Amino acid sequence: MSPAVGTSVRYTEIATVDVGAGPHLHIGYVKESGHVWVSDTGGDTITVLDHADGHVVDRWHIGGGAAHFSFDAGCNIGLVALRSADQAAIVRPKTREVLERVELPAGSAPTGTMPAFDRGIVYTLNEGGGSVTAVEVSSARVVATIPVGGLPKWGQPWGASYKPITQPVGKTYVVSTESDDVTVFDDATNQVIRRIPVGRRPNRNAIFREHGNVYISNEADDTVTVIRIADDEVLATVPVNHRPFRMLPIKAINGRDEMWVLGAGDASSGAGTVAAVSGTDHVVARTVDVVDEPANWVVNPQKRLFIVGSSCRQLLVYDFASDAPIGLTELRHDPAPGAISGLIHTSAGSLFVLNADSTVTVLRDQNG
């Protein structure tokens, strides 16, 4: 089932490119050098693609299990989590140079990163160790390993790295899937402040900065937990759509006071949806139909939202300016489910989609 689509914008596949060994947990953009990086987490490489046509620039042998990476604002310095090596690689993204390798606790299996470059820190989310490690980039040393809940999946620092609308309050929120909670720790001391129980199998969090709240998507009970940042009080538990897994506050994009929640759905639950949660009332204000079994999404500077379906092989383009879907394109490959990020839209006008079969599809708008 497909949503009703108005004025059509059509993206066309211009290339499908083989990448390295999967699984592939992350696709990211080094804008300053015009390259797209794909984490070949099942091997020892990052595949580097040209940001316009997707041709392979390099297969960079960086070490075991590149999972997720973060860069500073100008892509001058970055950190790559090496999952199977229990390491963090400090890199120069523009030249693909490894500056230092930082040993993490044995068995930590770092899978995600949280940038805090304004404080000279990048955190690794250690799925194997139930911990978060703070790496000081300038000295390439571990300054703290913070215990959190089981299987930490995602985190949000409330600080300048994320261009806050309000002033930073100096604490970070880490979602732990196995322990059904959020760990809050102090950014200055790296000491745990509290752990907050949420719903079942939380997998993501997002900050609604205009309201000073953090939202947590709970995949196993189809809810979103709303926590006030000022005092960490749980304000609401909101029933949303099936298997919520991505969230996007849209007030700064088109003025609507909503947190968009994307549900992964399944084969028996019908069309995929976005649940638009009111930022003031903490209820689902409306439901937006999208593609079946959504796999991932990305928004570009032109205020277009791109959503791909993992089994229906479709790409939906949603225009925030008109608040309507404007294009639906059939895909030739299944987009990769489960990636930390699965789509990138580049300044060259190309859309990159990470696929389940160790390929990346490159698309462009037919209308330019």
The pLDDT tens digits of the residues spanning 292-329 come to 999 999 999 999 999 999 889 999 999 999 999 999 99
CATH architecture, domain defined by 11-365: 7 Propeller (2.130)
Judged on CB neighbours under 10 Å (0-12, 13-18, 19+), 212 is: middle
Tokens 């791909």, residue?
308
Domain ranges of the chain: 11-365
Q: What is the DSSP string of 297-364?
A: EEE-TTSEEEEEETTT-EEEEEETTTTEEEEEEE-SSPBPTT-S--EEE-TTSEEEEEBTTSEEEEEE
Q: What are phi and psi of 282, to 5 degrees?
A: 55, 45
pLDDT-based confidence at residue 347 (cuts at 50, 70, 90): very high
pLDDT in tens, 217-250: 999 999 999 999 999 999 999 999 999 999 999 9
pLDDT-based confidence at residue 164 (cuts at 50, 70, 90): very low
The answer to whether residue 7 scores a pLDDT higher than 90 is no
The answer to whether residue 267 scores a pLDDT higher than 80 is no
Structure tokens at 268: 């028996």
Task: Name residue 1's amino acid.
Answer: M
Model's pTM, two decimal places? 0.95
* Per-residue pLDDT, 366: 86
